């Protein structure tokens, strides 16, 4: 609650002047500084084929070569998942396929991505439900909140408590947990949740049993058997037995990705390997996750990209930068969004 309030006040003071300013605030106060506030590994598995663009206040999609495949004609769009993407036409959300054809008519006030064949949707006067790829409601409106399916279960909110349902809508784990909005996915058979009335996180299995004691101020998803956790003002890593395998000594840490994790030491970011050894010394003002061999890093107020040998592959010149997917990455410069390839060549920008 305190983190959310501080973020709100900070954004108000900044006046939302730039996406770079927003990201810098998130780096300081949010336990998951990434492209979205609550990005989870379950949302990173699908390789992007189409990328959102904006032209004249309308949205469409390009491919990795920068060719427009779906012309900008929507009022808002989201990423594709399982072959479908949520798009907004006027005030309502529907879904299109990769040809740009509307396959589920716009009739929802909120619509999220498809996962394991189902998507959470909401109409204004109803609660959250789930639809299939034909647009049919297969789990009736009954939830205060709903998120993606992961490993066969979806986290839902009922009367402010988290529980879990299966793909038929049956409640598998009774509501009784909590946590940050957008989190709570099952990853590697475990889900990080807040247990009890205290603001402490632990891990449950798919029966709802607490298998790692709730004693952390924050707990991340497991990635290849390791999860980042926060104790007071220090971050470290535990294994799936709850054993601390990398001592909580960092000012901040991120999930492991491609064998490395970004950590903050003495106000600078570097990288460690899965043994906890420093492989890139702390030297950056921010450092993101490695994806396709590159990671975004910030020096002063500009972003560039390094490789795992700490060679600067793309010089810091952007106001904001995000992870590579299918060979291209989203970047921002002077409040303009574009895409670049892995040697820094522009693929798309708003002047095209």
pLDDT tens digits along 129-171? 999 999 999 999 999 999 999 999 999 999 999 999 999 999 9
Given a contact cutoff of 8 angstroms between Cβ atoms, the answer to whether 47 and 58 are in contact is no
Among 23-37, 39-53, 87-101, 183-197, the range scoring the smallest mean pLDDT is 23-37
Please compute the mean of the pLDDT values over residues 237-263 and round it to a whole number.
98
Predicted confidence at residue 16, as pLDDT, reads: 38
State the average pLDDT for the chain.
Answer: 89
Chain length of the chain = 352
Q: For the whole model, what pTM was predicted? A: 0.85
Predicted confidence at residue 40, as pLDDT, reads: 52
Please compute the mean of the pLDDT values over residues 66-76 and round it to a whole number.
97
Closest CA to 298 of 322, 310, 271, 316: 316
pLDDT per residue as tens digits for the range 302-318 = 999 999 999 999 999 99
Is residue 197 very low, low, confident or very high in pLDDT (cuts 50, 70, 90)? confident
pLDDT reading at 266 higher than 90: yes
Higher-confidence residue: 264 or 4? 264
How far is 127 from 144, CA to CA, in rounded Å?
6
Residue with tokens 């979806």: 154
Is residue 44 very low, low, confident or very high in pLDDT (cuts 50, 70, 90)? low
Predicted confidence at residue 28, as pLDDT, reads: 36
Q: With H, G, I as helix, E, B as strand and everything else as coil, classify residue 15.
A: coil
CA 43 to centroid of chain Cα atoms: 7
pLDDT reading at 247 higher than 80: yes
User: 4 — phi, psi (to 5°)?
Assistant: -65, -40
Predicted confidence at residue 46, as pLDDT, reads: 74
Predicted confidence at residue 43, as pLDDT, reads: 53
The pairs formed by 304-307 with CB atoms below 8 angstroms and a separation of 24 or more are 305/329, 305/344, 306/280
Predicted confidence at residue 302, as pLDDT, reads: 98
How far is 41 from 210, CA to CA, in rounded Å?
21
Given a contact cutoff of 8 angstroms between Cβ atoms, the answer to whether 293 and 258 are in contact is yes
Give the percent of the chain with pLDDT over 90.
83
pLDDT reading at 18 higher than 70: no
pLDDT reading at 90 higher than 50: yes
Tokens for 164, please give them: 């879990």
User: 80 — phi, psi (to 5°)?
Assistant: -75, 145
Is residue 283 very low, low, confident or very high in pLDDT (cuts 50, 70, 90)? very high
Tokens for 97, please give them: 């396929």
pLDDT reading at 6 higher than 60: no
pLDDT reading at 23 higher than 90: no
Span between the terminal Cα atoms of the chain, in Å = 42
> For residue 28, how many other CB atoms are within 10 A of its CB?
13
Predicted confidence at residue 292, as pLDDT, reads: 97
How far is 89 from 103, CA to CA, in rounded Å?
13
Given a contact cutoff of 8 angstroms between Cβ atoms, the answer to whether 251 and 244 are in contact is no
Predicted confidence at residue 36, as pLDDT, reads: 32
pLDDT reading at 196 higher than 90: no
Predicted confidence at residue 111, as pLDDT, reads: 98
């Amino acid at each position: 609650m305190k983190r959310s309030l501080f973020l709100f006040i900070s954004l108000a003071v900044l006046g939302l002047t730039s996406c770079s300013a927003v990201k810098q605030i998130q780096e300081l106060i949010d336990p998951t500084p990434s492209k979205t506030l609550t990005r989870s590994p379950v949302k990173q598995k699908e390789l992007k084929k189409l990328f959102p663009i904006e032209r004249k206040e309308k949205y469409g999609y390009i491919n990795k070569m920068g060719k427009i495949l779906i012309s900008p004609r929507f009022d808002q769009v989201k990423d594709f998942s399982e072959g479908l993407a949520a798009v907004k036409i006027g005030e309502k959300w529907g879904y299109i396929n990769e040809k740009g054809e509307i396959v589920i008519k716009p009739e929802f006030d909120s619509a999220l991505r498809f996962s394991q064949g189902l998507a959470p949707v909401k109409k204004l006067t109803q609660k959250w439900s789930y639809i299939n790829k034909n647009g049919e409601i297969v789990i009736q409106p009954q939830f205060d909140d709903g998120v993606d399916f992961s490993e066969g279960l979806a986290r839902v909110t009922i009367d402010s408590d988290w529980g879990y349902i299966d793909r038929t809508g049956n409640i598998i784990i009774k509501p009784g947990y909590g946590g940050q909005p957008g989190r709570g996915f099952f990853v590697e058979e475990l889900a990080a949740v807040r247990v009890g009335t205290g603001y402490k996180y632990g891990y449950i299995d798919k029966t709802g049993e607490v298998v790692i004691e709730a004693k952390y101020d924050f707990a991340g998803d497991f990635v290849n058997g390791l999860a980042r956790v926060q104790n007071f003002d220090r971050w470290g890593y535990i294994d799936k037995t709850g054993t601390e395998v990398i001592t909580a000594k960092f000012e901040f840490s991120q999930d492991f990705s491609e064998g490395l994790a970004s950590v903050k030491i003495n106000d600078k970011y570097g990288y460690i390997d899965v043994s906890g050894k420093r492989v890139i010394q702390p030297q950056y003002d921010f450092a993101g996750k490695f994806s396709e061999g590159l990671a975004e890093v910030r020096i002063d107020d500009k972003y560039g990209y390094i490789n795992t040998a700490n060679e600067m592959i793309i010089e810091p010149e952007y106001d904001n930068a995000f992870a590579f997917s299918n060979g291209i990455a989203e970047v921002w410069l002077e409040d303009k969004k574009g895409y670049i390839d892995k040697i820094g060549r522009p693929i798309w920008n708003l002047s095209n």
